[in-house]
Amino acid sequence: MNVREFIDNKSPQLSYYLRSYWQQELPYNELECFIWDTLEEWTQIENQATEAYSAKERIFWHVLQQAHYWQEYELTNEQIKPELEMCILHLEKDGLCPFAVVGIRP
């Protein structure tokens, strides 16, 4: 699996987990488990350093890092949640690319 395939595969899952958490259908610890599993799977991707970033990948890493960085109760904050929702819309191909968002690979 290459970087693009990994991001294409994980983006819908990230959207699902975060949206489910916001809708109180998924406990926070499940979101955290997904994040840690994703980071572990990332270590198995070859050629990480040689493949160029895409806008989708930068947004994916930003959302993943923000979901991990903020405390459980902060993810529903009226300033944080809308930014993450906009990013998720882009990952789902339904929204514009937020250009001020720059996530980096772990």
C-alpha torsion 6→39→105→88, nearest 10? 70
Mean pLDDT per 10-residue run, the chain (106 residues)? 94 97 96 98 88 91 96 93 93 80 89
Q: Which two tokens stand for residue 60?
A: 């994916």
Q: Which two tokens stand for residue 26?
A: 């998924």
Measured distance CA(48)–CA(20) in Å, rounded: 29
In the block, which residue shows the tokens 């599993």?
37
pLDDT at position 94: 73
pLDDT at position 49: 81
Type of residue found at 41: E
Closest CA to 69 of 45, 40, 35: 35
Q: What is the pTM of this model?
A: 0.92
